[in-house]
Amino acid sequence: MKFQIFRNGKVVDKFTLCGAYLFGGDGIGIRRAQITFKDGYVECKKSNLETAGLALLWPIEGFGKVLLPTTCLPERERPYNLNVEIARAKLMQIVNKREDWLFLNNIEVLADLLKEAQNLFIRAIQNISVPSKASKLADESLKKAIVTSEKLAIKQAESLFNARTTSHGLGRGCFGCRIDPMEIDNPVYVERLLELFGSVTIPINWAQIEPRKGKFDFSKIDACIEMLCKKKFTLSAGPLLCFSQEYLPKWLVNSGAGFEKIREMAYKFVSEVVARYSGAVRAWCAISGLNALNHFGFGFEQILEMTRAANMAVKQASDRALKIIEVSNPWGEYYTATPNSIPPLVYMDMVVQSGINFDAFGLQVRFGKNVSGMHVRDMMQISAILDYFGPIAKPLYMTNVEVPSKNGDKLQDGEVAGIWHEQWNESRQGQWIEQFYKIALSKQFVNSVTYSNLIDTADSTISHSGLLTDELEPKESFRTLKKLHDSIFSR
């Protein structure tokens, strides 16, 4: 498959491929695909002849730079016009979500804007034999379509969000925050937490807690539990297990142990932690990201068995605690390049069907980095992916949410990580957070949203993503979230 790229009606000679991957008709990434750019064309090679779509970071004048897909297309010798195909996919998504939500009919302004986008696209198709003209018309269509799609997603979310809050369908724990244990002795930090959050999550890192086999250091967590219990927070903790290298003790990584031995030691660690804090912690993230993060290369059945073992250990040590299985990278881009990984919905469905005893799924949404799964997407895509997980017969917790408050460099430069309307700043971060929270909490199956970090820290996944500066001064995002919090709970 080949795609020709145009800018202002002219074939481009330079284009940086960011976040690019191929996916099949089921939405699952295609493995062993090769995607290259040369002389104005994106060339895609894959191992089968089935239809496929291309997703990549795409600039839109007046809107920013977001990761967008084409529709699934058959292979052919003649190149596709990428500008046209991306516009086609966005218009199709709007039509599909309009039918799902039954919402656009009462909003004349959006209906008119959509009609304009559709008419421009029809003209693009009519001029498809003149690629430069077709691309310009498609670009104009996409500019109107993506604005329509976001406004539609927000309007629909606000309607359901208001209905849910009016009926008191949200508890105080629906606003959560992952804490920094190093700050727990700082009274200003704790007071800021109290201003906004009913629940907090204490991070658990196996590598730090058991640096030597059988030797546990609980001092930081003990201090957190003591302080937070005094302040009457609802406590969550985790992930108890994560098979990314930074969470794994070096003695375990270097042990050469097989799966059975690793499972045994993991079970023992989880049991030790949960038993110690069973009286204080209400919810445990039993295991995180095993759909994508699999340092030991566990096979399909072993992934399932490790997930089962983690939840069994929590249940044995604390029968009443909530057990959460966290899923990373909801769009599943990692699957195209990561061996021993499983697409998100496949993993979730597999866990449910296997009869594992757990209570909810957690989902991470992090944007603002040129890393698989972290390229910026528009609000309709976010709403649509949450709807995609809705039919799974378990509640959903947004367990790790973060976006930056300023443009970064290297991996966090907006040119390669994505731009939402304009370069990240405190105001843009606040607007994104408000819209995201309304979309997430408008879904009846979403229980809560936990922000990843209260303050800017050097080791956060996304730099400058805190709601406070490193000097504990509120950013605009903190004030925006406080206003949203108060609008819910002052009724």
* 448-468 pLDDT, tens digit each: 999 999 999 888 899 999 999
pLDDT of residue 108: 73
Percentage of the residues of the chain whose pLDDT score is greater than 70? 99
In the CATH hierarchy, which fold is given to the domain comprising 171-489? Answer: TIM Barrel (3.20.20)
Q: Is the pLDDT of residue 335 over 80?
A: yes
Residue 169 has pLDDT above 90, yes or no: no
Q: How confident is the model at residue 102 (pLDDT cuts 50, 70, 90)?
A: confident
Mean of the per-residue pLDDT values of the chain: 95
pLDDT at 105: 58
Q: What is the pLDDT of residue 168?
A: 86
Averaged over 101-115, what is the pLDDT? 77
Question: 372-411, pLDDT tens digit by residue?
Answer: 999 999 999 999 999 999 999 899 999 999 999 999 999 9
Considering the chain, what percentage of its residues have pLDDT values greater than 90? 92
Answer left, alpha or beta for residue 395, where phi above 0 means left and psi between -120 and 50 means alpha. Answer: beta
Q: Is 82's pLDDT higher than 70?
A: yes
Quickly tell me which residue has 């800018």 as its tokens.
7
Is the model's pLDDT at 297 over the cut of 70? yes
Q: How far from 218 is each of 210, 274, 277, CA to CA, in Å?
A: 9, 12, 10
Ranking 96-105, 224-233, 329-338, 361-370 by mean pLDDT, the lowest is 96-105
What are the start and end residues of each CATH 3.20.20.80 domain in the chain? Answer: 171-489
